[in-house]
Amino acid sequence: MLIKLRIGSRPSKLALVQASIVAQKLTEAIGGIEIEIVEIRTSGDKLTTGSLAQVGGKGLFIKELEQALADRSVDIAVHSMKDLPAVLPEQFKIVSVPQRENTADVLVTRDGVALTALKAGTRLGTSSPRRRFQALRINRSLEIVALRGNVDTRLKRVAEGELDAIIIAMAGLKRLGRTGEVKFVELPGSDFIPAGGQGALAIETLAERRVGGSSELDRALNAINDSRAFYEAASERAFLAGIGASCVTPVGVRAIIAGGNLSVSAMLFSADGSRELSESIEEPVDADLAPSAAARAGERLAEKILARGGAELLGDE
């Protein structure tokens, strides 16, 4: 029996590539499937200026996709995990997280220099408070310039000399096949703890619905799920929920499962970047680690950073 599946995606080049990655994985996991990628322009796609904080936050990139799920005009939605709020409405759930891409941030310049080598007054583009403060920790002489737009637009601003440098996610560069075309330096994870969920894709569905009415398709979604990526994302999202992070909170968090351990590290700044806190935990994990156990690790890290004064930093927002 032919199974039909509609995947909701933002219309940007990167979003469509990500939806196609999921479509290909599902095609390989299940026979007799017909997939349609439905392009849905979100509120975030319509706004090309101003910060996310000014125009409504991360939810702007998923609102219309979730409405399409609720209307049953699509069966699943594919998101960049970092675009999702830390807590989803009860009617939706993340059912699958494919293998995660490189989580690092990268510095893109015209000549491939390091962040520490950038001269005073260098115009560095980013609209992420986290990236702004992390960059200024390393090089206080930078001029930070607000930056919106898709990856191609951002790279073009460097190539044409409008900006001297930008910071973007390695995952986007790799998925778009642009790593061989631009000069970049991967930024160290110790100084640039990424946004929660960076490098991961989230497959979202209605919480109480068999996808496409097919148990076989549900099994396929489970088959393309990478348990390590799923648990790492669960831990990072639980940390963000635990501290009450919003789209404007200057915070990075990274969970890593390796060698039988789960380590979670976070870096939190005050709203003006003048104060910061870094904290981490490491715990052994069982072979049958459950998402709830990974989430509890993130919650414990949230409690730890709040106890050290994180609440005060968050109060500055």
pLDDT for residue 289: 73
pLDDT for residue 50: 53
DSSP 8-state secondary structure symbol assigned to residue 299: H
Closest C-alpha among 179, 185, 200 to residue 80: 200
Is the pLDDT at 221 greater than 90, yes or no? Answer: yes
pLDDT for residue 149: 86
Confidence of residue 212 (pLDDT cuts 50, 70, 90): low
CATH architecture of 1-98+200-225: 3-Layer(aba) Sandwich (3.40)
Confidence of residue 103 (pLDDT cuts 50, 70, 90): very high
Lowest mean pLDDT among 53-57, 93-97, 125-129, 155-159: 53-57
Closest C-alpha among 225, 228, 254 to residue 239: 254
* Mean pLDDT in residue range 241-247: 93
pLDDT for residue 138: 96
Lowest mean pLDDT among 54-63, 66-75, 168-177, 244-253: 54-63
* Catalytic residue ranges: 83
Is the pLDDT at 136 greater than 60, yes or no? Answer: yes
- Residues 105 and 100: their CA atoms lie apart, in Å, by 14
pLDDT for residue 224: 96
Is the pLDDT at 57 greater than 60, yes or no? Answer: no
- In CATH terms, the fold of domain 227-317 is Double Stranded RNA Binding Domain (3.30.160)
Identify which has the larger pLDDT, 291 or 96: 96
Closest C-alpha among 64, 101, 299 to residue 204: 64
Write the DSSP assignment of 34-99 as a string of letters: EEEEEE---HHHH--SS-HHHHT-GGGGTHHHHHHHHHTS-SEEEEEGGGS-SS--TTEEEEE-PP
- Residues 294 and 253: their CA atoms lie apart, in Å, by 14
* Mean pLDDT in residue range 34-41: 94
pLDDT for residue 109: 97
* Mean pLDDT in residue range 75-98: 95
Tens digit of each residue's pLDDT (9 = 90 or more) over 269-307? 999 999 999 999 999 887 667 778 899 999 999 999 999
105-186: CATH homologous superfamily?
Periplasmic binding protein-like II (3.40.190.10)
Is the pLDDT at 1 greater than 90, yes or no? Answer: no
- Residues 129 and 245: their CA atoms lie apart, in Å, by 13
Domain boundaries in the chain? 1-98+200-225, 105-186, 227-317
* Average pLDDT of the chain, as a whole number: 91
Domains 1-98+200-225 and 105-186 share a fold: yes
Is the pLDDT at 211 greater than 80, yes or no? Answer: no
Model pTM? 0.93
